[in-house]
Amino acid sequence: MKKQTNGPRPSECTAAPQLQRALRVLSGKWKGEILWQLVGGKRRFGELRRAIPDVTQHMLTTQLRDLENEGLVKRTVFPEVPPRVEYEMTPAARDLKPVFDELSRWANAHGRLEPASPDADDNADGRRVGSSERPTQ
């Protein structure tokens, strides 16, 4: 008699690689921020750079190229002097809008999440309290 294992169900086997690919496509420190900026419509490179002040020009260029290669961003170059380049979401990326909306809702509901400090104690509610937040006795 064959021994049964508790492995993944067949439906989970096909979904996991798709989810992994989606996370890989969207991973990167700036990709989510870039896509969020493009939700409102077309943006020029300089506008994106000003909207995301901590990103370097090189990193923004790299991340935009990656998103373009994955089919999430469309790059349009206008034959002008100086050249004008606009970026916009493709229909595939626009399908991510509900995901962004849900992430925004989640972030608003949970506020700022911070890891517990190593010296945290439990307060009367059973919640973790850091040393600067200890209740007075």
* DSSP symbol at 103: H
Tell me the pLDDT band of 18, cut-offs 50, 70 and 90.
Answer: confident
Mean pLDDT for 24-39 is 88
Burial class (CB in 10 A: 0-12, 13-18, 19+), 27: exposed
Identify the CA nearest to 98 among candidates 35, 52, 27.
35
The two tokens of residue 25 are 């496509």
State how far the Cα of 66 lies from the Cα of 86, in Å rounded to an integer. Answer: 16
Higher pLDDT, 50 or 26: 50
Q: Looking at residue 69, what is its pLDDT?
A: 94
pLDDT in tens, 95-135: 988 988 898 898 888 877 666 655 544 454 444 444 344 33
- Check: pTM over 0.85? Answer yes or no: no
pLDDT in tens, 47-103: 999 999 999 999 999 999 999 999 999 999 999 998 899 999 999 999 988 988 898
